[in-house]
Amino acid sequence: MKPNPPVLLLGVFLALVTAGGALLLSNDRAPSAPAVPTAAAPVADKDFAVAAKAPASPAPAPAPAPTPRDERFVIKRILPITGPIRYGEWHWDAKGVPAGPLVVTVDLDARVLSVFQGGYEIGATAVLLGTSEKPTPLGVFPVKWKDKDHYSSTYDRAPMPFTMNLTDDGVAIHGTKVEKGYASHGCIGVPDPFAAKLFALAPVGTRVYITKGKTVGKGDSLVEG
């Protein structure tokens, strides 16, 4: 049997249609393109976050203003004494000096006691001091009590006129005969006439500065340093 040409053409046409449909179905079923991942939100750095939340350091406190000097204790006059003060020698001049707080200084090296009123030196004298075994102490001592006719309770009732006591163990300023070659048991011995003047002027509580080799002059403060 010969093939019928129209039938062959129809078969070819149907085959092509079927193949095209299969191709369309294949394309429809192809997997879709992968989704582009959404960028994740950035994670905050923990240490940075803590640092950012930390309170700012407080500003440094301003330096305190310097305390002004008390002019009542600034040296305004030194007695015009020529040369070193000899044993038994003393000077006193309070004429015209205004009222003011009293300060007593003792220099163990110079062996001199000075009296200042309101910053004006009104008295100065050579003194007897303690020995190496019983030294006169260094420091600042207020006059604790006074006794015009005192006698030592430790050293055979030795007279200590015009006593101005400084320490609990008996160190005091008092009158005595101030001569070269003599010493005290730690006390500060001054000539009796000088002791009488100081005793009459210095109230209980008067500060006594005992130093060793410290020098001061006009314009310096008696109570600083």
Query: How many residues can be counted in the chain?
Result: 225
Distance between CA 214 and CA 109 in Å, rounded? Answer: 9
Q: Give domain status of residue 171, yes or no.
A: yes
Average pLDDT over residues 89-113: 97
Instruction: Name the E strands within 108-203.
Output: 112-117, 120-126, 139-142, 145-151, 159-165, 172-175, 188-190
The torsion angle over the Cα atoms of residues 10, 14, 15 and 17, rounded to 10 degrees, is 140
Q: Give domain status of residue 75, yes or no.
A: yes
Q: Is the dihedral of CA 216, 217, 221, 222 positive or negative?
A: positive
Distance between CA 195 and CA 191 in Å, rounded? Answer: 6
For residue 136, give its domain range.
Answer: 71-211
Q: Give domain status of residue 185, yes or no.
A: yes
Question: What is the structure's pLDDT at 59?
Answer: 79
Q: What is the CATH number of the domain that holds 92?
A: 2.40.440.10
Give the residue, 50 or 139, on which the prediction is more confident.
Answer: 139
pTM of the model: 0.71
Q: Give domain status of residue 12, yes or no.
A: no
Give the residue, 64 or 53, on which the prediction is more confident.
Answer: 64
Q: Give domain status of residue 158, yes or no.
A: yes
Q: Give domain status of residue 223, yes or no.
A: no
Q: What is the number of structural domains in the chain?
A: 1
Q: Give domain status of residue 18, yes or no.
A: no
Encoded amino acid at 106, one letter: V
Q: Give domain status of residue 38, yes or no.
A: no
